Amino acid sequence: MRVLFKVIDRLLERVRHDLARPHEFAAERVGFFICRTAELAPEGVVVLAYDYKSVEDEDYVDDASVGAMMGPNAIRKALEFALNNKAGMFHVHMHEHAGRPRFSRVDFRESAKFVPDFRNVRPEMPHGALVASKDSLYGMCWYSAVSAPIEIDDFVVVGSPMVVVRIGP
Amino acid sequence: MIPPEQMEELRAICPDAREMSEAGLPYVYLPGLRLPEGSNPAQAEGLLALQGREGYPTRLFVSQQVVGKGNNWNTFHILDKTWFACSWNNVSSALRPTQILAEHLRAFR
Amino acid sequence: MNERHTRQEFLGTRSEEIFKNCRVSIIGLGGGGSHVVQQLAHIGVGNFRIFDADHVEDSNLNRLVGATESDVASKTPKTVVAAQLIKGINPRTSIVYIPKKWQGSADLLRDSDVIFGCVDSFSERQQIETAARRYMIPYIDIGMDVHDLGNQFAISGQVILSMPGELCMKCMGFLRDDLLAREAERYGAAGPRPQVIWPNGVLASLAVGIFVQLMTPWHHNHKRVWYLEYDGNSQTVMTSNRLEHLREATCTHFASLDNLGDPFWLPSKAITG
């Protein structure tokens, strides 16, 4: 199954700006893209990010073993939002370098813990986790009956200029 | 927004009727709309445009062309689906939605 | 870089790869669309979705790039003419061609990077733009007209970029309810509209230039909105002065979430397994 993730450049810029803000104790910030979706023939989905929810300052947990740890309130709020707004939620954090980012082992581990919860509240929507670098994106999508997350191999940042991060056509 | 009582009237005809909108224009989606007796198909999805578009004050779009009825059928893409409509104009938007629907369905009698 | 594209190296070291992986839809393969298709193939676009319900007629040969007399005799679909044109330039392109009205296969537009609309109806333009906005796809529209001024004629045309999140064609005053109404009134009664090759060539080239600047910019003067007006009598192209009055405007026609994604979303069995 293929996943195409699209976001308008101005929204992505807003997200990068938010994620770059310092926090009292968290080394990184995180947030959620809020998304709509549609099917792609022959077998896939297009994820359309239309807004962003920042995790609020007070909803981080002080955990020195990771860059940023969301507390239960952050996840609860995001789950409620997904439920009430029929939204697909994509967690996002930043890597401060240029070039295609990758998930660390910690990113994989932590995403796998909380992203499936969104499938419980909105099972019909794709949900996932992304990492943004200064000029690129990487991410995983959890979707429906497919239990293992799918690597997103197609990102389009819509704007002038367009930024396309694509593995093959 | 259609007044609730008028939506109820529509739902009496089409139980799953719901309001939708696209590019600022309001529509009523009418899944399982029964077409007039003798129509082919006997039923189709309907989309009732209650505000002017393309010079029509109101318009009924259907998911399949009605065989042998209506003139100048054209194809449309609205709300991400394919629709068909014939030339059947001058059904006023001042009527109640059920009346608008009834007037448009006359094209298929 | 492939020898073929060395003359466009100034578009960047990655430009060849970008064009090769890019997915472009072209709706309407007549006078304007056939030029667009040809230029995109030359540039190296690797993936085409092309839509046109018509076949070649004799009256098309004054302007349809790639069409020949034998196509008239064989009633070759315009999609086939375009596909052959593309493949002749680059046999390695992937082409999906739909010789039917695009509305019946609009799902194939969804993963396009850019959509070109080369149609001759305001209603079609409105529908294509709405579909493009639904899937966050930049839409480039071209069209020409010949106006009878009584004792002479005027050729005009436009190239418009409708970018998601920015002013739409209604905002720009190009799509208007009165024009749509007039067009609907004339439906079935309108004769063939005058169409000639050279304005189509100008407009198509401008449109392709906008596309290239979007995908592999060669200068820093990025624009999110384009509305170019072509005057075929004075042979000039100017930015429409309507945009001057819209500097601070934002689009209200597509602001609502109703316009984004599949409004009837329920995953199909193909996805849910």
A161 CB neighbours in chain C (<8 A) are 213-217, 222
Which residue range is the domain that position B14 belongs to?
4-108
A154 CB neighbours in chain C (<8 A) are 111
On whether residue C268 sits in a domain, the answer given is no
Q: Give the β-pairing of A88-94 and A127-132.
A: parallel
C123 in contact with B at a CB cutoff of 8 Å? yes
- Reported as a single tens digit per residue, the pLDDT across C100-153 is 999 999 999 999 999 999 999 999 999 999 999 999 999 999 999 999 999 999
Closest by Cβ to C21, choosing from A6, A146, A166? A166
On whether residue C69 sits in a domain, the answer given is yes
CB contact under 8 A, A46 and C110: yes
Which residue range is the domain that position C58 belongs to?
11-256
CB contact under 8 A, C256 and B24: yes
pLDDT at A67: 78
Taking the mean position of all CA atoms in its chain, how far away is CA C127?
13
pLDDT at A52: 98
pLDDT at B107: 95
Evaluate whether C177 touches C203 at the Cβ level (below 8 Å).
no
Secondary structure (3-state) at B23: coil
pLDDT at B75: 96
The number of folded domains in chain B is 1
The number of folded domains in chain C is 1
pLDDT at A121: 93
C180 in contact with B at a CB cutoff of 8 Å? yes
Q: Which are the contacts of A88, defined by CB distance < 8 A and separation ≥ 6?
A: A34, A35, A36, A37, A47, A82, A118, A122, A125, A126, A127, A128
A123 Cα to chain C: minimum distance (Å): 10
Radius of gyration of chain A (CA): 15
B80 Cα to chain C: minimum distance (Å): 7
On whether residue C265 sits in a domain, the answer given is no
A99 in contact with C at a CB cutoff of 8 Å? no
Evaluate whether C37 touches C242 at the Cβ level (below 8 Å).
no
Chains that touch A (3 or more CB pairs under 8 A): C
pLDDT at C187: 66
CB contact under 8 A, B22 and C258: yes
Most trustworthy range by pLDDT among A132-146, B95-109, C182-196: B95-109
CB contact under 8 A, A36 and C137: no
pLDDT level of residue C269 (50, 70, 90 thresholds): low
Average pLDDT of chain C?
94
A37 in contact with C at a CB cutoff of 8 Å? yes
Q: How many helices (H) and strands (E) does chain A have?
A: 3, 11
C165 CB neighbours in chain A (<8 A) are 8, 10, 158
- Two tokens at C115? 């959509």
pLDDT level of residue C273 (50, 70, 90 thresholds): low
- Reported as a single tens digit per residue, the pLDDT across C71-98 is 999 999 999 999 999 999 999 999 999 9
CB contact under 8 A, C182 and B55: yes
pLDDT at A153: 87
Q: In chain B, which residue's Cα lies nearest the Cα of C127? A: B77
C254 Cα to chain B: minimum distance (Å): 5
Q: What is the CATH number for C150?
A: 3.40.50.720
- Reported as a single tens digit per residue, the pLDDT across C224-256 is 999 999 999 999 999 999 999 999 999 999 999
All structural domains of chain A: 2-166 (3.40.140)
C256 in contact with A at a CB cutoff of 8 Å? no
Among B28, B73, B75, pick the best mutation site for testing chain C contact (most C Cβ within 10 A): B75
- Reported as a single tens digit per residue, the pLDDT across A95-123 is 999 999 999 999 999 999 999 999 999 99
On whether residue C271 sits in a domain, the answer given is no
pLDDT at C190: 57
Enumerate the β-bridge partners of residue C49.
Answer: C25, C96
Distance spanning both ends of chain A, measured CA to CA? 14
> pLDDT (tens digit, 0 to 9) for every residue of chain B, 109 residues total?
899 999 999 999 999 999 999 999 999 999 999 999 999 999 999 999 999 888 899 999 999 999 999 999 999 999 999 999 999 999 999 999 999 999 999 999 9
Q: Which residue has the higher pLDDT, C213 or C191?
A: C213
pLDDT at C1: 79
Chains that touch B (3 or more CB pairs under 8 A): C
Q: In chain C, which residue's Cα lies nearest the Cα of B77? A: C103
Count of Cβ atoms closer than 10 Å to residue C147 Cβ: 12
